Each structure stands twice: as structure tokens, then as C-alpha cells.
Amino acid sequence: MLAMPWLQGKPTVPVAKRKSCSRISYTCDMSNTETLRDQPQTVGQALQFCSEALQNSDVFFGHGTDSAWDESVQLVLSVAGLPLDSSDDVLPDPLSPEGITRLRSLLGRRIEEHIPLPYLLGRAWFAGLEYLCDPRAIIPRSPIAELILAEFRPWYSGPEPTRILDLCCGGGCIGLAVAHYFPAARVDLLDIDSAALELAQENTAALELVDRVSIIQSDLFDELGDGRYDLILSNPPYVDAADIAAMPAEYHHEPENSLGSGADGLALTRRILSCAETWLRDTGLLVVEVGNSWTALEEAYPEVPFTWLEFEHGGEGVFAISARELQEYSTKWRQLGL
């Protein structure tokens, strides 16, 4: 079972309803609520305490969890040092005085400063793997996790991938997950931002993948060396100007250059489409997340057969396009003022 399959989502779109994998039921016995308000003593009381506090606040859930309850489970179990798939059996477990103090402090910052929970905890989960997580990079939540776990079937039909590029890698979640699940592949993690790449480097070491993973600082494909890839995976910035203006406070804690991409959100995606063909093997596949901006992309290229992928755990706006299709439309990308 994945540690937290609901930790996949989108930057600005409210997260679709997802099932929590926690086996703790919402209706756990919450007796003695007077004491509870003053000082939660057990895991169960702390869950109720946090859940009520979050429900009564104006926080926005969009960074991996979609409800006060799921976020409370993640917060309390993390502070208590318990596995995130714990069952109801842990509800009577006592919290240490230090645990209670830390819990109150994190909850206070979550509510007052609107800091997304993964930044407060310093870790995030993606495709069943745990990552270091801090404001050097966006919080992992791409639905591409689901495609990785399905080994890109049926969309990728070439030989076993041996070279994969995570273009716009941030803290490295996509590329490191493919490196983990495709042990025959060498993976390049590429980003323009040196701070994000530092975090990607730390995650590479933490996941013990340094032998097969390279870190490249580059403006898209500019600094790439020779060779072509079987898969190019990208979750570039894609939020359009209107969505940027309306973003809840939580998103302002993330690096600005991770989200916005011009008026229609497609500035980076246009550049990726115009060059990707050069970097893909003939049997290769390009997978790009564009979120809400998928309608703008369809309008910009009405004749291009983008395949829009569907997700069991929520998310939309991810397309796949083969190297051959990219070749077929290569003049089109250039004609459209790329």
C-alpha cells in the first residue's frame, strides 16, 4: 500500500476528492472535550483538537490533503512519530509534553501564517516515497505520480526506458520516483533554479539514487549534452495570470518561478513543445502537466492530437504526445511564434 496516495494534486485547482489511506476512522471516540480544548493528551484527542481548529479556520487545503481531517492525521501522526497508515489502535496512545507543545506550535503556524503542512513538517510523500520538503521547491503533488506507478502504460510502448529526463524537476520528486521504479534507467533532473536543485540533490542522496541520477542546471534544454531520452516528464510552471492573482495565501509560500508562466500559463509549455522532439528517441514519449491551462493549449493547437490522461486519485491537465507526433507537428510549433 502506498504511504499516502492522496498526496498528489495540483497547484491552483482545488484538490479533487481523494481517499485517505489512513485507517483511522473519523468517528473515533472523543470523550472529555473540555480537557481536550485545553490540552489534548492522546493521539485521538489531538486529532479531534486539530481537526476542529482547522475546520474553524480559513486555511486552504491544496498541498496534498483535501480536508481538515486528513491534514490532522498527517500532522498528529508525524508529531507522534507514528506511521501514516496507522490504524485506530493508536488513538489512546499518549502524546509526550514535548509532542503537545510542538503540535500546538505547528498548528498555530498552519492557521495563522497559512504555511502549507509539508513545509512545516519538512517532508512530503509522492508515489509512495518520502521526500525532504522546504520552500526551496514547490511541494510535490503532481498526478504524474500515478503514471509512474502504472509505468506509463499504455501510453509508452517503446523498449524498457534507459534514459529519462525530469524537465523542471524542482525538489526532484518525479525524476527520483522514476529512478526508483525504473531501476534500469539513468535519470537527469533539470531545473533553472539552483536552490531547487540543492534540494533535489539532497533528496537524491536520501533516496540512495546518486549512482543513476544527474543534476543539471539549465534553462529548459539549453545546457543538455548529447543523447536522447525515452521519456521526458515535465511539470513546468503553468498557472495563468488570472489564477496567480486569485491564489490562496498558502501558494505564496512556494517559489514564485514554480507557478506562473505568462498570461495564459503556457509560456514554458510552448518552448517545451517546440524543442522536445530533438531530445526524444523515435519511440519516446513526452508527458507534460499543464493543469487548468489545458483549455488554452487546446485552443492554441486545435489540430494537435494531445492525449489527455485520466487519474484515479484526482488531477487533470496532463497530456502525453509521442516523439513521432511531435515530429509531425514540428513546423506547427514554430509557426505559432515559439
Scan residues 103-132 and list those touching ligand SAM (CB under 6 A): none
Question: Closest CB to ligand SAM among 257 and 283?
Answer: 257
Q: Does 264 bind ligand SAM (CB under 6 A)?
A: no
The three-point CA angle 233-237-238 to 5° equals 100
Question: Closest CB to ligand SAM among 7 and 107?
Answer: 7
Bridge partners of 307, per DSSP, are 320
Question: Closest CB to ligand SAM among 50 and 139?
Answer: 139
Distance in Å, CB of 257 to ligand SAM, minimum: 5
Q: Does 15 bind ligand SAM (CB under 6 A)?
A: no
Residue from 75, 173, 290, 297 touching ligand SAM (CB under 6 A): that is 173
Q: Does 258 bind ligand SAM (CB under 6 A)?
A: yes
Site stretch for ligand SAM (CB under 6 A), options 41-49, 66-74, 165-173, 204-212: 165-173
The residue count for binding ligand SAM (CB under 6 A) is: 21
Residue from 116, 236, 265, 291 touching ligand SAM (CB under 6 A): that is 236
CA distance 294 to 84: 34
Residue from 79, 174, 177, 224 touching ligand SAM (CB under 6 A): that is 174
What does 223-254 look like in DSSP terms, one character per residue? T--S--EEEEEE----B-HHHHHT--GGGGGS
Which single residue brings its beta carbon nearest to ligand SAM?
A: 170
Question: Closest CB to ligand SAM among 90 and 174?
Answer: 174
Q: Does 199 bind ligand SAM (CB under 6 A)?
A: no
Helix (H, G, I), strand (E, B) or coil at 132: strand
CA distance 39 to 75: 16
The DSSP 8-state label assigned to residue 206 in this structure reads: H
On the 0-12 / 13-18 / 19+ scale of CB atoms within 10 A, 311 is middle
On the 0-12 / 13-18 / 19+ scale of CB atoms within 10 A, 248 is middle
Question: Closest CB to ligand SAM among 62 and 170?
Answer: 170
CA distance 30 to 161: 51
Distance in Å, CB of 237 to ligand SAM, minimum: 5
CA distance 84 to 235: 26
Alpha-carbon distances, residue 163 vs 30, 184, 285 (angstroms): 52, 9, 12
Question: Closest CB to ligand SAM among 16 and 111?
Answer: 16
42 touches 92 (CB < 8 A): yes
Distance in Å, CB of 191 to ligand SAM, minimum: 5
CA distance 176 to 205: 10
Helix (H, G, I), strand (E, B) or coil at 120: helix
CA distance 84 to 145: 18
Residue from 192, 247, 300, 304 touching ligand SAM (CB under 6 A): that is 192
Q: Does 12 bind ligand SAM (CB under 6 A)?
A: no
Closest CA to 92 of 44, 27, 55: 44
Q: Does 169 bind ligand SAM (CB under 6 A)?
A: yes
* Residues 129-148: x where in contact with ligand SAM by CB under 6 A, - otherwise, as a string: --------xx-x-x------
Residue from 66, 191, 240, 277 touching ligand SAM (CB under 6 A): that is 191
Q: Does 237 bind ligand SAM (CB under 6 A)?
A: yes
| Residues at the contact surface with ligand SAM, assessed by CB under 6 A | 137-138, 140, 142, 168-170, 173-174, 191-193, 196, 219-220, 235-237, 257-258, 268
